[in-house]
A and B are shown apart, each in its own frame.
Chain A
Amino acid sequence: GQNIDQPTEMTATEGAIVQINCTYQTSGFNGLFWYQQHAGEAPTFLSYNVLDGLEEKGRFSSFLSRSKGYSYLLLKELQMKDSASYLCAVRDRRTGANNLFFGTGTRLTVIP
């Protein structure tokens, strides 16, 4: 099966940088996704990593190390609107063409 771990909650200050970690265990790894979800709303896609290294998209970056089963999402220049849950999800090729398995999410609170 899949085992995906990420911290439950984090707090950071507006304007700062925060790193949200995600570790996973799966033998059929086929990509890792990060989603943002505001309370009561649908998750929205942030980033995708399938090869080792860093992917940068504006204020958000995501890193992957397949050998370590590890990823992080880096948020720079934090804004109050970044307060949300951040979901790490792993795609497992053994379970079907595109099935994603999600961690419990990290609730980020940005304070002034």
Chain B
Amino acid sequence: DGGITQSPKYLFRKEGQNVTLSCEQNLNHDAMYWYRQDPGQGLRLIYYSQIVNDFQKGDIAEGYSVSREKKESFPLTVTSAQKNPTAFYLCASSTGNRGYTGELFFGEGSRLTVL
């Protein structure tokens, strides 16, 4: 079945360590996104990519980095520069094809806890 797979589902990290969250999709979608979700706040956009080898900063990109070397993959690295990394991270994808509403399809999420 087509979908988006995020891993790991739960991750614990010590302060000062970088960590990479994986996101893979087999929906043949061109666009991919990373959102962060905190209690009492809406989803906030970290980075997005509309095409392979290109990506753009979202509203809260500081302390994060991404790559888009393959259409199927959009990994997110949470660096030690991110001051408050404990959060629920959601990866999403969408198609830009005409006739579609362009809704986002989400992965199951990765919950990162910094100890």
Contacts and interface: CB of A to CB of B under 8 A. Distances in A.
Interface of A: 4, 8, 31, 33, 40-45, 48, 50, 87, 89, 91, 96-105
B61 interface: no
Interface string B59-89: 0000000000000000000000000000010
Contact of A98 (B88, B102, B107, B109): B102
Interface in B41-58: 41-45, 48, 50, 56, 58
Contacts of A33: 101, 103-104
B42 A42 contact: no
B104 A45 contact: yes
Interface residues of B, number: 27
Contacts of A102: 35, 42-44
Interface of B: 31, 33, 35, 40-45, 48, 50, 56, 58, 88, 90, 94, 96, 101-109, 111
A102 B59 CA distance: 12
B103 A42 contact: no
What 6 pairs across the A-B complex have the smallest Cβ distances?
Answer: A102-B42, A42-B106, A102-B43, A48-B101, A45-B103, A104-B42
Contacts of A87: 42-43
A42 B33 CA distance: 14
Contact of A99 (B40, B45, B88, B105): B45
